[in-house]
Structure 1
Amino acid sequence: MTRILLRAGKSPFTQLSPEVSLEGFSSGVWGSNVGNFIFSDSVHRLLATPDTEIRTNAFLTERIEVPGSYIKRINNEFDHFVIPMANAFRGSFLNNLKRLTNVIEQLDIPVTVVGVGVTGGKGTLNDPIPHVEGELADEVNRFMRAVLARSASIGVRGNYTAEFLSKLGYGDDVVRIIGCPSLFKFGPEHQVNKKVETITADSAVTMNLTPYVPEMGPISLHHAKHYNDLTYIPQVSNDLAMMMWGKANPQYKNPKLPIHVQHPLYLEDKMRFFVDSHSWTNYLATRDFAFGTRIHGNIAALISGTPAFVLAHDSRTHELAEYHDIPHIKVPDLAGRKDAAEFYEEADYTAFNRNQAANFERFAAFLTENGLSHVYEEGKANPEYDARIEELNLIEPVRSLAARDPEAQSQAYSRVQRLRNPEFQAKTAKKALASHEFPLTVDGKLERKRKSALRRVARKLESLAE
């Protein structure tokens, strides 16, 4: 039995309530953006062959001062550390990258990085490759050395990342362009085709957006007004706090964006926040079309079989859209276009479908090169995995406090009433700790860790109630 430790917020089989998902972890169980579940859950499924045991680490290998005893346990209890990543080569992730590298440097087992990407410079669509100097370059170099000492190659998202690493001295002898593992979740035969001839005002349309892209303000208002069955699916922890507690996003002030409780999408109950990837993709499978700036919001639609269109606002979204031939347009090229019907008419999935098998084969070859099996190898299928997912009692999406549906109102009122309940605070912390498949705590440290988490939850809840 091969034992894999997977870098992921939680196991796909673990269902956590919205309260626990948000308040029981410092930045949400998903690490600030629930889109992280799309690629980590995909890798989990792909590697879950019948002769493999996978446990998730709740990002604990990136915590401050990871004890030597924890690293020793990884070496003793696992055969492989697999690290699915997104755009980790960026300044805002630098401290996480340092801490993760500290751990990797002490491991004796193989380490495989799947799908890492770079974030470009200011105005990244025109400047997609960061300068190869300074602290970012130094830490990426250190990370690369640590990983490649324990693996045959590293898997990156696309050409921009490969070029960045090439300038640091890492060529195609060790760098493999594999795209995003999410799009291989259902194998080489996965296809996406349009479900309806055209998009109308009554079509089931789903939108995603990034709050620092100003063009999405008018687009969100336009669709709130003109589309009767529109759903906006936010993805970051601040959005969930707004939906659950009515707390406006403190980072952004643009009144045209759905980041405050007075936005039409909030008031008209046209928002849904999913705290699990399977409830998310199940919902998207029922929709006609998805579009927006969130790359994994659109990939979630594509793996559910629903057409999606990317509004590429930076190099990291453009890199993946180009590699996988996902229909897209650069935001600066919108030239006044802002309607879902226009995006749908422009979308063509011929190249995406044609290249899926070849892209998958490159990804599969990368896994094989690094000693990893996958469920699409002959004799490695694992139908019990999907059967187990089907049996889960999935968490329903969070709706806004303005929802008029009686059931939604009851859930919202109960949530607010629990806000200051000490028992709720304690259960939130305990449930969060219990969800860790491979906890940082050992022996006598468990109670101390539980109390620390409880204090953090209490402080967070108190600040939200102000």
Structure 2
Amino acid sequence: MSNVYVRSYQAATANPDAYQQWQQNLFGDNLGNLLYTYAVERQLSSSGNVVQPGPTRGQRLDPGWYHEHVDHLVIPLANAFRWTFRERLDTLSELIERLRIPVTVIGVGAQASAAGEWNADHATQIDASVKRFVGALLERGPSIGVRGEFTSDYLIGLGFPTDTVDIIGCPSMFLRGGDLTLRPLPDLTDDSPIALNLSPYVSEMGPIIEHNLARYDRLDYVAQDLQTLGLLLGEPYDGKGAGDPLLPTGPEHPLVAGGRAWMALNATTWLRELARYDFSFGTRIHGNIAALLAGTPAYVLAHDSRTLELARYHQIPHLVVRSLGDPALADAATLAAGADYGPTVSGHAERFERYVAYLDRHGLDHIFAPGQTGASFDDAVAAVDFHPAVRAGVPVPRLGRPGRPSQRPSLASRIAARLRR
């Protein structure tokens, strides 16, 4: 029996209410963090493992604790090779350097513009942090699992051997293994149920929202970020995009005022709710992956290297949002009509085999091995009566701690503080 510690914000069976999620930021600013860690927790829940999900902070930064309680540390990551994550990456490096147990990183990516351009002012410092992190990791495992070719090329360019960089995509796509089944995509009409996801800091989405909102009566905004959760709870929005009348960042926006915005509090509810739609589109890579896992065809409007890299690797229909001159080109029906999901589905099994080979290379037991299933994990998740999604205009009882988290600075102020360092 192997004790596996999976770095995550919360366990798949955790069920904090909306105010706890918002006040304590239990999903790391972006609900997408819960999707890929949910997938890894399920994938490693074999009969040979005891999986413990949890954060890497406080006592969990003490190497002595790991040496006493953990046989293998697994670190699922997203776009961790970026400036605003640099300090946390250095903290992880310091921990890994002091460990004597195997360490595996799953699905890490580098973040640059959609054209692959880095911020020249930060590149040297990011490179140094990444070199330290990957160097420490490769002393405790055979390779690092990255999202796609962009990140692979970046690491190889830093001097790491090709055979130590495995391209595996995002673990969330393999939540259910080698099977990816999508419902047939109907011809979209003005009355079709459509899910829109977006990054409020991508201003180019404003005209696209305006165009689609005017046409589709059942277009819903499926939010993912902490600031929008606060907005849906009746709190002021203090994130990027505030004040832009075309973006749903205030109570007066038609999607919010009209009760057409919602946000799940956990991966289970997120997937269940997205199954109700005919089509999903927008800038959120995990919002669209969640739709695909729910069987709903999805289209990615890529706005940077992290979203573009995963859309390319998993062959999810996509375009670069900043290449659009006319918002009508991102009309939901137009996108859907031009989407080809054949490669998405037909190539999934091969990508899954590559992912499983990575787990095997790192000596990790998993539910995809012969004789193993994820049934016990699925039963545990099914037994939880999860809190429902938070919906615009629907009151939410205050079950968590009362009061606004005044000690928590806004996202903008936190980013500004990091840039001053």
**Same fold by TM-score greater than 0.5:** yes
Q: Paired residue for 2:62, among 70, 94, 112?
A: 70
1:126 Cα deviation (Å)? 1.9
Does 2:406 correspond to 1:425? no
Offset of 1:287 from its aligned partner? 1.2
Alignment match, 1:274: 264
Equivalences for residues 383-402 of structure 1 within 5 A: 383-400=375-392
Separation in 1, partners of 2:114, 2:405: 39
Distance 1:32 1:137 in 2: 24
Distance 2:322 2:123 in 1: 29
2:3 is aligned to 3
Instruction: Return the match for 1:328 from 314, 318, 326.
Output: 318
d(CA) in 2 for partners of 1:133 and 1:332? Answer: 23
TM-score, with length taken from structure 1: 0.83
CA distance 1:125–1:250, change in 2 (3 Å): closer
Alpha-carbon deviation of 1:347? 1.0
User: Pairwise mapping of residues 117-132 of structure 1 onto structure 2 (< 5 A)?
Assistant: 117-120=109-112, 124-128=113-117
Measured after TM superposition, the shift of residue 129 of structure 1 is 5.9
1:359 and 2:356 aligned: no
Pick closer, same or farther for the CA change 1:114–1:250 going to 2, 3 Å: closer
Q: Is the 8 A contact 2:60 2:66 kept in 1?
A: no
**Shift in Å, 1:86:** 0.4
Percent identity of paired positions between Structure 1 and Structure 2: 36
User: What secondary structure is seen at the aligned counterpart in 1 of 2:73?
Assistant: strand
Q: Partner letter of residue 223 of structure 2?
A: P
Deviations along 1:425-448, one digit per CA (max 9) or x if unpaired, are 38x9xxxxxxxxxxxxxxxxxxxx
Find the aligned partners of 2:60 and 2:333 in 1 and give their Cα distance.
55
> Deviation per CA, 1:290-329, whole angstroms, max 9, x where unpaired?
0000000000001111100001111111100001100011
**What is the match of residue 421 of structure 1?**
none
Amino acid at match of 1:425: R
Calculate the TM-score normalised by the size of structure 2: 0.92
Q: Is the 8 A contact 1:249 1:260 kept in 2?
A: no
Aligned to 1:433: none
Does the C-alpha gap of structure 1 residues 133 and 199 become closer, same or farther in structure 2, counting only changes over 3 Å? closer
Q: CA deviation at 1:130?
A: 6.7
Q: CA RMSD in A?
A: 2.0
Report the equivalent of 2:132. 142
Q: Displacement, 1:56?
A: 1.4
Distance in 2 separating the partners of 1:133 and 1:6:
29
Is the counterpart of residue 104 in structure 1 residue 106 in structure 2?
no
What aligned pairs does 1:227-242 form with structure 2 within 5 A after superposition?
227-242=216-231
Q: Does 1:204 align with 2:204?
A: no
How far apart are the structure 2 equivalents of 1:340 and 1:263?
20
Query: Aligned letter for 1:287?
Result: Y
- In structure 2, distance between residues paired with 1:194 and 1:315: 29
CA spacing shift, 1:112–1:230, aligned 2, 3 Å: same
Q: Which residue of 1 aligns with 2:36?
A: 39
Matched-pair contact (CA < 8 Å) for 1:232–1:270: yes
Report the CA distance shift for 1:362/1:129 in structure 2 as closer, same or farther (over 3 A).
Answer: farther
CA distance in 1, matches of 2:104, 2:302: 28
Taking the TM superposition and a 5 Å limit, the aligned residue runs for 1:233-312 are 233-252=222-241, 253-312=243-302
Aligned to 2:82: 90
Corresponding residue SS for 2:401? helix
The alpha-carbon deviation at position 223 of structure 1 amounts to 2.6
> How far, CA to CA, are the matches of 1:380 and 1:274 in structure 2?
30
Q: Deviations over 1:346-405 (max 9, x none)?
A: 1111111111011011111011000112211101213122122222201101112xx2xx
- Identify the range of structure 1 (209-218 vs 76-85) with the bigger mean alpha-carbon deviation: 209-218
Query: Which residue of structure 2 aligns with residue 438 of structure 1?
Result: none
What displacement does 1:37 show?
A: 0.8
Give the Cα–Cα distance (whole angstroms) in 1 for the partners of residues 338 and 238 of structure 2: 33
Letter in 1 for 2:401: Q
Q: Distance in 1 between matches of 2:322 and 2:226?
A: 27
CA distance in 1, matches of 2:281, 2:61: 46
- Report the secondary structure of 1:305's partner residue: coil
- Asked whether the equivalents of residues 125 and 315 of structure 1 are also in contact (C-alpha less than 8 Å), the reply is yes
Query: Relative to structure 1, is the Cα distance of residues 119 and 383 closer, same or farther in structure 2, using a 3 angstrom cutoff?
Result: same
What's the offset of the Cα at 1:334?
Answer: 2.8
What is the deviation of 1:335? 3.7
Q: Per-residue deviation at 1:107? A: 1.1
CA contact (8 A) 1:193 1:349 kept: no
Larger radius of gyration: 1
1:169 counterpart = 2:169? no
- CA, structure 1 residues 458+243, in 2 after alignment: closer, same or farther (shift >3 Å)? same
Give SS of 1:95's match.
helix
